[in-house]
């Protein structure tokens, strides 16, 4: 038996990158990538694809357009889900442990300066 404390709300996100045929006047999909994977859509146009995702519970969070060369559209969509899994850590805990202004280069430098034996 599950109780309210056993479940929590969470969000699933997908990121879409799409190039449309020609200038996009017909909204026909030429290239479609979802979460970095190239897909062959079962629908012909982007509005049909977005309506399909909407029927799956997704709503649009961001939309961007890159106009260098071929027009490339970027979308981020999310949907709310109910889960029984506990979160894997907390982003605010990670932020509180991070050094101010630290970046990837700092992490690599600290790794090599600290020595690999500290990981054993």
Contact between 26 and 103 (Cβ < 8 Å): no
**Cross-strand pairs, 39:** 32
Between CA 73 and CA 66 the distance in angstroms is 6
Q: What is the number of domains present in the chain?
A: 1
Confidence of residue 118 (pLDDT cuts 50, 70, 90): very low
Between CA 100 and CA 103 the distance in angstroms is 9
pLDDT per residue as tens digits for the range 59-95: 999 999 998 888 899 999 999 999 998 887 887 887 7
The domain of 71 spans: 4-83
Residue 96 has pLDDT above 60, yes or no: yes
CATH number, domain at 67?
3.30.1410
Lowest mean pLDDT segment, chosen from 24-38, 39-53, 54-68, 100-114: 100-114
Q: Does residue 104 sit within a domain?
A: no
Q: Does residue 89 sit within a domain?
A: no
Q: Does residue 97 sit within a domain?
A: no
Q: What is the pTM of this model?
A: 0.69
User: What per-residue confidence (pLDDT) applies to 39?
Assistant: 95
Q: Does residue 45 sit within a domain?
A: yes
Q: Does residue 114 sit within a domain?
A: no
Q: Does residue 57 sit within a domain?
A: yes
Q: Does residue 72 sit within a domain?
A: yes
User: What per-residue confidence (pLDDT) applies to 5?
Assistant: 62
Between CA 119 and CA 114 the distance in angstroms is 9
Q: Does residue 16 sit within a domain?
A: yes
What's the mean pLDDT in 94-108? Answer: 68
């Amino acid at each position: 038996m599950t109780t309210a404390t056993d479940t929590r709300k969470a969000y699933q996100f997908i990121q879409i990158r799409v190039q449309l045929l020609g200038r996009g006047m017909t909204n026909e999909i030429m290239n479609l990538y979802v979460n970095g994977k190239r897909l062959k859509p079962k629908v012909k146009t982007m509005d049909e694809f977005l309506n399909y995702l909407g029927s799956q519970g997704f709503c649009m969070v961001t939309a961007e357009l890159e106009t260098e060369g071929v027009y490339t559209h970027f979308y981020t969509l999310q949907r709310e889900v109910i889960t029984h899994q506990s979160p894997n850590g907390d982003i605010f805990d990670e932020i509180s442990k991070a050094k101010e202004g630290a970046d990837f280069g700092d992490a690599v430098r600290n790794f090599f300066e600290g020595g690999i034996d500290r990981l054993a």
